[in-house]
Amino acid sequence: MKKSTLLNSDVTYLVSTLGHTDEITICDAGLPIPDQVTRIDLALTHGVPSFIDTVRVILSETQIEGVVMAEEFARVSPELHQELLKELELEQARSGKTISTEYISHEEFKQQTQQSRAVVRTGECTPYANVIFQSGVVF
């Protein structure tokens, strides 16, 4: 049995095959997922798994160099947005690498998900709880 934090085989495969600048999206239960993008559906029920728990596990296994969020996230769901920023700060401290942050409109965000290698759907029901992670390198 796998010993590290990430146990889901689809997410493990995704993380292990990411290259520099590849993008993955972690989303709430309501974000539309483009047909041509791989869907990894973790949602079991409202709030399970949560967006922030999923983010923590992905960050524990993946080197991130950039983050894209919808502008609406900070305005409409400020508490969860702040939790995400705190996790990103912790990751920067752990890795010693800077993580750039970009805000775009929700409509632009939905368009950009089309470039993701996969979209990981959580059970989160907080509005705009979505993030695109851009993969970095560990060296």
Return the active site residues. Answer: 20
Task: Specify the amino acid at residue 118.
Answer: A
Please report how the helices 9-16 and 51-61 are oriented relative to each other, as an axis angle in degrees rounded to 10: 40
Residue 139 CB contacts under 8 Å (≥ 6 apart), including other chains: none
DSSP 59: H
d(CA 17, CA 90) in angstroms, rounded, equals 24
